[in-house]
A and B are shown apart, each in its own frame.
Chain A
């Protein structure tokens, strides 16, 4: 085992603009501390050698010196306050970036921490687990929350981290400036799998990022959708039109679960069995009260042409046909509002509105995994 120990790094990579500014302060403090240490250790070593007990040499009677006390109170204080001022400026950069550092329309990533994984969602809707891919030289904002306990989204190469707390949203921003792959850690103890909540940060070139965006759509089981498929568009529609509000995979849902229905026979009211093909699905969207599934109430509204165009209908149908068990995200209606939020949210049984993402797809939620 010992033979395979890697040669260790000494310094972390500097992969973001903030890292560069950070390291200036870090080394400044280091220089000051080394000098202070040199003074103390120098005096200590000198005294220990020069004033070791010698025959016939009496110790001197020195009670103190107000002047020295003043000097070594004020000088450290000045240095400490310099740390404070510079450090606060640096912190300010991290927390409240100026519009030149982080433009108002910068892409926003959403991060959800849960025991014990990171769910990352790109501005355009792609999702990653325990990984985050970013284009180089593009300032991005990352907003996070937690589903259960406090976690911390930490990227040493960027020199930033922020706690993700259940019940509120916290955020940070990055301006990656070096290509490469870096560590992503969970930096707040969160239980058994705390050290498993690690991942990778990929900083890629702009063109690589575009390629990645279009070629990497995966559903929850990690399978690729077909490139640019209508099913992918249909997934977005499924959420935007609110279908997920009733057609979800929860036990108290108001409408049948649509996972895995393609090609099966459905029992409708009156006892008849109908094949669930594309025509059936398109019909159910346009004229929902024609065939009502046995055991369900006739409450689905009709989605007429002014709500769903024919092209969109095709995409929606393609999505529903592609659904296999486990594909549907679950809603989180118990998502709590942040501290101080208005009360309607806590009592309203419909899903708590998340903050409007900049793009049109809402963050999807995985089914709750209880420990």
Chain B
């Protein structure tokens, strides 16, 4: 059984038929995605454990996130899932132009997602929401009671506060969050939330970057006529499986991280305006 070449495309040397090759490629990609489910599942489980232990703290952390950008990103990602599915169709009917167009659209949408994500991280950095053990000095009003005379007086004293806690309280103030630090939530535990936020979104970003690279590679291949063989559409299909998975992970991250709090639509709009520089208030 030689490696047969036909208009459909060459079969790899170790396969007996094109069907076998296709079935194997699909199975391989599904198996890989199972491992990815477990990978993200591990960190999601740890997050869930802490969320059950510290509900109010994670609430507060969630309120400090930029749900406006996340909303836009969600639409971008869903749209990109559509375009890549259309790309499969283009490859199946050997429509090179259509394939290029759809792949390019997916790439553009993914890049837009990543761009907005970068902006979101930048805003977080500017606001000081980076978990750390750094302490900064602040002047604070302290009430002092004279034990002999019982007189009360207010003094300005320098106290050490955690840099993150300070930043968090400011952000939540600006968002109009109703909790009181120390009573309703513990800023130290919110650092834990932010650690999960950066880890989970960071891993997702990493997967998107890899996907972006693969999409670009497929785009170049398509431009060189690699996918003119109709049977090679299966590789676009495998790519789309991966891409849909990345999308699915985001659909878990969005509610787990961004939506688990007293967010209102106004807050989302407000954050989006602030994100694109239209703040003009606060």
Contacts and interface: CB of A to CB of B under 8 A. Distances in A.
B147 A347 contact: no
B150 to A, nearest CB: 12
Nearest to B56: A343
Nearest to B185: A343
Contacts of B147: 289, 298-301
Nearest to A299: B147
B13 interface: no
B53 interface: yes
A339 B53 contact: yes
A298 B148 contact: yes
B166 to A, nearest CB: 14
B186 interface: yes
Interface string B166-203: 00000000000000001101101100000000000000
Nearest to A300: B147
Contacts of B185: 343
B57 to A, nearest CB: 8
Nearest to A302: B147
Given A339-B53, A340-B53, A346 B148 contact: no
A299 B148 CA distance: 8
B53 A346 contact: no
A343 B54 CA distance: 10
A301 B182 CA distance: 28
Nearest to A343: B186
A347 B182 contact: yes
B156 to A, nearest CB: 16
Looking at chain B's contact residues, the main secondary structure is loop
A286 to B, nearest CB: 15
Contacts of A340: 53
Interface residues of B, number: 9
Contacts of B189: 346
A289 B186 contact: no
Chain A interface residue count: which class? 10 to 19
A369 B202 CA distance: 37
Nearest to B160: A252
Interface in A279-313: 289, 298-301
Nearest to A340: B53
Contacts of A346: 186, 188-189
Contact of A289 (B53, B148, B182): B148
Nearest to A288: B147
A298 B148 CA distance: 8
B186 A347 contact: yes
The residue among B147, B182, B186 with the most chain A CB atoms within 10 A of its own CB is: B147
Interface in B122-160: 147-148
Nearest to A345: B186
Contacts of A300: 147
Interface in A133-182: none
Contacts of A298: 147-148
Interface in B181-239: 182-183, 185-186, 188-189
Contacts of B148: 289, 298
A347 B162 CA distance: 12
A298 B185 CA distance: 35
Contacts of A289: 147-148
A301 B148 CA distance: 9
A291 to B, nearest CB: 14
A253 to B, nearest CB: 16
A346 B147 CA distance: 27
Interface in A346-360: 346-347
Contacts of B182: 343, 347
Nearest to A346: B186
B134 to A, nearest CB: 17
Nearest to B183: A343
Interface in A218-238: none
Interface string A328-349: 0000000000011001001100
A362 to B, nearest CB: 25
Nearest to B49: A339
A289 B148 CA distance: 8
A104 to B, nearest CB: 30
A135 B183 CA distance: 46
Contacts of A343: 182-183, 185-186
A217 B187 CA distance: 43
A287 to B, nearest CB: 11
B55 to A, nearest CB: 11
A347 B161 CA distance: 12
Contacts of B186: 343, 346-347
Interface of B: 53, 147-148, 182-183, 185-186, 188-189
11 contacts: A289-B147, A289-B148, A298-B147, A298-B148, A299-B147, A301-B147, A339-B53, A343-B183, A343-B185, A346-B189, A347-B182
Top 4 nearest A-B pairs by Cβ distance? A347-B182, A343-B186, A346-B186, A299-B147
Given A301-B147, A346-B188, 6 more contacts: A298-B147, A339-B53, A340-B53, A343-B186, A346-B186, A347-B182
